[in-house]
Amino acid sequence: MSLTLRTISREQHLAYIQSLPSASHCQVPAWADVKTEWRSENLGWFDRDGQIVGAGLVLYRQLPKIKRYLAYLPEGPVINWYAPNLDDWLQPMLAHLKQQGAFSVKMGPPVVIRRWDSAAIKSGIQDPDVKRLRDVEATHIEPRAFEVADRLRKMGWQQGEDGGAGFGDVQPRYVFQVPLANRSLEDVLKGFNQLWRRNIKKADKAGVEVVQGSYEDLAEWQRLYEITAVRDHFRPRPLSYFQRMWTVLNSEDPNRMRLYFARHNGVNLSAATMLVVGGHVWYSYGASDNIGREVRPSNAMQWRMLRDSYAMGATVYDLRGISDSLDENDHLFGLIQFKVGTGGEAVEYVGEWDFPLNKLLHKALDIYMSRR
């Protein structure tokens, strides 16, 4: 199969994404408008008949002082990763990016390597000798993913540093997902642990109400998000980031981004943003106040978001990044503990990969990034 690669229009790119069951939200054309500090390009792969068979959103970040770029395809490109001729897909991409002035390419193949169900994770948490998810026997292993990793290594790609829980610009290697395909809502609720089910009931009894917000409510979202940032010691993104995100994503597709609030007696206690691409739904950002936790607003909100995803025909509800630490003393442990209660599964991707087109500049970037 001979493939050609060329720059395509955003319209072509979007049409291709819309023809698929799903793709990462980081690979839709509008994501380029969210990441304004990067220059962007839409790439398309074409077969012999001129049909588009793959697409990629490339973000270019310029090196300080010189006209050379890091080319980044977050959770992409959207190609046939299991193709035996993976070289024929990636070589033209590298040649093209080099021509565009890239000194290094970073990509995140959307390829799942392992899955652990909730029971496996729980037994890992209870075992004092287990400190990490990878020490627990996986419930499902995808052998083809190991082949993909082998092929990439043979081509000269290097596995990037583990992104941990996916904070900052690096995409998470480990995520937590609730599968919805071929399950009834009743099954999904039955999969929740006792504490989650009890908390959902508690919120309901207390009269917690979950509502969808609009662009005008983003300032209220920001208030809760900044309270969360202080509590959890991270630097919050500005309100303008979420306003831009809302505007550009929803102008591409009116259902791409949603906002939810859980409120009690008219007071908003927690909030979340949700992203939708085809059958894949992500819980993207979450925020909560320091008050009103006893009425369990976050559980009520997640249950509503899950039900809405199900009603849309989603096949997976994705709670995004987790750390692979199962150590109760780890500050990120609470994250997996909260998410595992949904009865979903931990999912490991093959991670991010780098191809140094210019070894010297690639090394310089590594040093620069490690000092930041």
User: Residue 273 above 70 pLDDT?
Assistant: yes
At 372 the pLDDT is 56
The model's confidence at residue 359, banded by pLDDT at 50, 70 and 90, is confident
Residues 6+ positions from 107 with CB-CB distance below 8 Å: 72, 73, 76, 77, 352, 353
Predicted confidence (pLDDT) per residue in 310-341, tens digit: 999 999 999 999 999 999 988 889 889 999 99
290-318 average pLDDT score: 98
Q: Which residues contact residue 257 at a Cβ distance below 8 angstroms, ignoring those fewer than 6 apart?
A: 245, 246, 249, 250, 273, 274, 275, 276, 284
| Average pLDDT along the chain | 94
**With bands split at pLDDT 50, 70 and 90, how would you rate the model's confidence at 167?**
very low
* pLDDT for 66: 83
**Between 168 and 354, where is the model more confident?**
354
DSSP letter at 69 equals E
Q: What percent of the chain shows pLDDT beyond 90?
A: 87
- Strand order of the β-sheet with 4-7 is 4-7, 39-46, 52-62, 69-73, 102-107, 353-356, 158-159
pLDDT of residue 366: 74
168: pLDDT strictly greater than 60: no
Residues above pLDDT 70, as percent of the chain: 96
Residue 335 — left, alpha, or beta (φ > 0 → left; ψ -120 to 50 → alpha)? alpha
Checking if the pLDDT of 164 tops 60, the result is no
**Residue 38, both tokens:** 């990067």
Judge contact between 285 and 226, C-beta under 8 A: no
Residue 61 — very low, low, confident or very high, per pLDDT cuts 50/70/90?
A: very high
Give alpha helix (H) positions in 54-193.
86-99, 118-126, 143-155, 185-191
- The reported pLDDT for the residue numbered 166 is 36
- 57-66, 145-154, 218-227: the lowest-pLDDT one: 57-66
CA distance 23 to 345: 19
Instruction: State the average pLDDT over residues 48-68.
Output: 93
Give the C-alpha separation, 284 to 288, whole Å. Answer: 14
Whole-structure pTM value:
0.93
pLDDT digits (tens, 9 = 90+) for 71-105: 999 999 999 999 999 999 999 999 999 999 999 99
pLDDT band, residue 370 (cuts 50/70/90) = low
Structure confidence at residue 369 (pLDDT): 67
**Cα 370 to the center of its chain, rounded Å:** 23
pLDDT one-digit tens code per residue, 5-45: 999 999 999 999 999 999 999 999 999 999 999 999 999 99
